[in-house]
Structure 1
């Protein structure tokens, strides 16, 4: 990993996570930005304190930061995790039918909400945002009438920002999907059970004006309106990779491994630390567009259909689009969008090759392939280092990869899937809290292993593994595997 210069502005990390969340929820890629602006208007009209107005901005942007974490469970319950969530947010009739078929919200949604809330709250904590933002995200699905999730808290026990964010989200989605008039009707139906009716009064009065103003805002003006003091600080971009990889358990650690591998390869070829830093960042975020593709496609064990493959081909396109709103990450994101291009022009999404691919793009492409080939996937087993090396060299001979890059890549030792030390100082003191056996169990369950599978791998009984899992959760102060995975990654414990 490059030694310095890696940290980015927290606001840019938050916007990256908002982009990922919008893709995951089947929303336009400015949905969270627009929601945050509307939430600020509602909070201001309700005369909330300045700190709560900042909280609603931050929580609105990070509201969907936990949705990659429960994508696998959402898929198992409802099928298409992207389209299903879009139907849920728009309250489409097909969603109501699907939800009823699964036993209603309490049975089908509550476990997903628990995962989502734990992870999004942890994201706020890792980013160093205020405790009020963390608390808001941990309760983001609670309701005014006390029937929300995951804890059915009485409305007065829920942070006020929760209701502002929920109302702003409804206004943004309903007005876009159904028009403002119908949106206000739907909001009126939710008053006094989803959020207090008093909050909806300024919405009825000012919504048309707010939406007109929002439509005219330039991106820079929107950023200025959303930036809070806490988001002006700096943070590691590693969190973006960790949140991305939560979408698929078998991807755990993949983006960090690509970043580390690419940076090491670059250092062998170029005596320029800034180049290594660029490819490291690009490696972390090269899979941003993966959030737009349903898990069922990624988990397909057989050859993809033409329609499925077309969605996969758009992954780097969406990654490129993300750079348009990510400030200090724009250069790294553009480089990241070349991760699946090939030297002979057979890659995607641009299908360019030759001189159009700079050295850093060639390094990133080869590094991503090298890490992926040695990782187990639903459609194939992991290749050995020898087999992966032979395949890369063969593809280089056929003109798909740069031969010099491949040789420099293979000069190094096989790269672990994660960095060996925590990148986030908040966790530096926590790495000694887990025993070595607990870390072994955590590594297996973080990669999708069940308790029985972990027991077989470690030659333990399932009950012993269950005890270790319970201890890990207790020590890490979480109740879900996704939250434990995110914390373990920040602590540098995954391999």
Structure 2
């Protein structure tokens, strides 16, 4: 297996790999985003855009929907399946009455009529507030990721404006017409054109562009697409999309240094973990634990670096699993388990087209395999499971047990260690790997946090519960305070950290080391 790190990873490869997960989260076939990027670049070329604008088009097309999984927990809570909800984006015109009715018909879907009635009533009374500004939040989060990836201001502004419309009725609705960055206008048109062309052909794409020209789409761009449709859509179904997109990377960066790669992978890992409030900070914690365990096993530096990076990417495949499954408080059905079992494979699938990232996928895909053949996704056993995957699997299992899940509270360190050791005795986990992981975990020093953004100790407790998806009443019960006090704390927290939603508060908590909560000592006031 070629070592990741000897070959510099290009930023385009990293973003393109992530785009494959965005496809899954929208219920679209893989490479939907890559094809929309090619359409966008062909439009940019015909519009004679300069290199700076072309670069903005490239990354905006790849990142346009990257923030849409951040509130998948809320989407699944109200509409049953977040992926089904997002897959309907292309069925109706944005902000149309038909689109709104289609969304409302999904409330409580997958449950009994009585349950759907209760959820519908709760949504009408208070739930709709959770959805207010949701799409605008997606754009803000996408812009945040663009900043963390070191992309230039032109790209950040375009990504942050990706849901604005020509007529000014987009999100957040602050821009209209030519005030919307041209890269955002091209990316949005290309996104809808890719779906229309793939599903119904060139004529359907032309018709959609004409129908929404002057409303959702820039009329000049829509006209340009209609006039050049045959050339713009030429060979989209036969071209090697990955190779074409990577070859078209603008001259923003040659490659990421090891430190830049780790920073980019960490930023993306935090974004992936946002998908479920039960997974906040999970990937980074697994990466750190696996790396430490690798060092204790005497692995060379290049191997521990591989372990660290494989830990950061191991959860990418969760983007393709509905939160109705990930956040389900009860037992999973056979069909739901099959979706969960696919997650490691999806991670590998997202990474394998990049020669530099593929080695990480080869490790991550095996982390749920077990020595006795009882694991997944391929049922590997014994020597077929690599040593690095054994370490990563033990680290992920330990860290998962130390975190809360929708069906159980977090387990104590002693209980998690006992369960790992039981897995070794049963012949499922590697004894050396488990020993190194437990040694690494046992030598961790409790992390004392100084006050962050002026938050008090109690406010940090509230923030952690809020990020995990707790409502004000649940926070009040957990901390033995009144709901009014809990609400006041939440309002003060939002004001202090500049957040306006659970997802943005969760991102703040991860970025400042407050999640996961394992062994965090609160600041003394």
Q: After TM superposition, is the score higher than 0.5?
A: yes
For the 8 Å contact 1:263–1:277, the answer to whether it is kept is: yes
Q: Is structure 2 residue 261 aligned with structure 1 residue 260?
A: no
For the 8 Å contact 1:122–1:483, the answer to whether it is kept is: no
TM-fit CA distance, 1:78: 2.5
- Equivalence for 2:242: 219
Q: Is structure 2 residue 161 aligned with structure 1 residue 135?
A: no
- Equivalence for 2:87: 86
The C-alpha deviation readout for 1:431-487, integer Å capped at 9, x for no partner, is 953434344433332222333434454555555554554454445444223123224
2:234 is paired with a residue whose SS is helix
- Equivalence for 1:328: 356
Q: Is structure 2 residue 430 aligned with structure 1 residue 402?
A: yes
Separation of aligned partners in 1, 2:76 and 2:225: 34
2:510 to 485, 489, 495: 489
- Equivalence for 1:42: 43
- Equivalence for 1:433: 453
More moved, 329-338 vs 376-385: 376-385
- Equivalence for 1:313: 341
2:316 to 288, 304, 308: 288
TM-fit CA distance, 1:391: 1.6
For the 8 Å contact 1:419–1:492, the answer to whether it is kept is: no
- Equivalence for 1:427: none
More moved, 319-328 vs 348-357: 319-328
1:114 is paired with a residue whose SS is helix
Separation of aligned partners in 2, 1:374 and 1:241: 19
For the 8 Å contact 1:66–1:116, the answer to whether it is kept is: yes
- Equivalence for 2:523: none
Separation of aligned partners in 2, 1:418 and 1:308: 37
The C-alpha deviation readout for 1:394-435, integer Å capped at 9, x for no partner, is 1211111112221222223358899999xxxxxxxx995343
- Listed as ranges, the gaps of 5+ residues in structure 2 are 108-122, 518-525
Separation of aligned partners in 1, 2:498 and 2:347: 33
Change (3 A) 1:470 1:232: farther
More moved, 135-144 vs 94-103: 94-103
Separation of aligned partners in 1, 2:403 and 2:88: 34
Q: Is structure 2 residue 405 aligned with structure 1 residue 377?
A: yes
Change (3 A) 1:278 1:381: same
Separation of aligned partners in 1, 2:232 and 2:448: 48
For the 8 Å contact 2:158–2:184, the answer to whether it is kept is: yes
1:341 is paired with a residue whose SS is coil
More moved, 347-356 vs 235-244: 235-244
- Residues 262-281 of structure 1: matches in 2 within 5 Å? 262-281=290-309
**With structure 2 as the length reference, what TM-score do the two structures score?**
0.84
Say how many residue pairs are matched.
Answer: 483
For the 8 Å contact 1:245–1:254, the answer to whether it is kept is: yes
1:189 to 192, 211, 214: 211
Separation of aligned partners in 1, 2:289 and 2:366: 16
1:383 is paired with a residue whose SS is coil
TM-fit CA distance, 1:384: 1.9
More moved, 13-22 vs 270-279: 13-22
1:411 is paired with a residue whose SS is helix
More moved, 463-472 vs 66-75: 463-472
- Equivalence for 2:229: 207
- Equivalence for 2:119: none
**With structure 1 as the length reference, what TM-score do the two structures score?**
0.88
- Equivalence for 1:339: 367
For the 8 Å contact 2:394–2:434, the answer to whether it is kept is: yes
The C-alpha deviation readout for 1:188-209, integer Å capped at 9, x for no partner, is 1111100121111221122222
- Equivalence for 2:118: none
For the 8 Å contact 2:351–2:361, the answer to whether it is kept is: yes
Q: Is structure 2 residue 389 aligned with structure 1 residue 361?
A: yes
- Equivalence for 1:450: 471
TM-fit CA distance, 1:98: 2.3
2:133 is paired with a residue whose SS is helix
Separation of aligned partners in 1, 2:498 and 2:446: 22
Separation of aligned partners in 1, 2:342 and 2:206: 35
For the 8 Å contact 1:418–1:492, the answer to whether it is kept is: no
- Equivalence for 1:124: 146
For the 8 Å contact 1:434–1:472, the answer to whether it is kept is: no
Separation of aligned partners in 2, 1:263 and 1:411: 12
TM-fit CA distance, 1:137: 2.1
Change (3 A) 1:359 1:108: closer
Separation of aligned partners in 1, 2:464 and 2:328: 24
Change (3 A) 1:193 1:418: farther
Separation of aligned partners in 1, 2:377 and 2:299: 30
Q: Is structure 2 residue 205 aligned with structure 1 residue 177?
A: no
For the 8 Å contact 2:37–2:187, the answer to whether it is kept is: yes
TM-fit CA distance, 1:168: 0.5
- Equivalence for 1:425: none
- Residues 457-468 of structure 1: matches in 2 within 5 Å? 457-458=478-479, 462-468=483-489
Change (3 A) 1:416 1:441: farther
1:393 to 413, 421, 425: 421
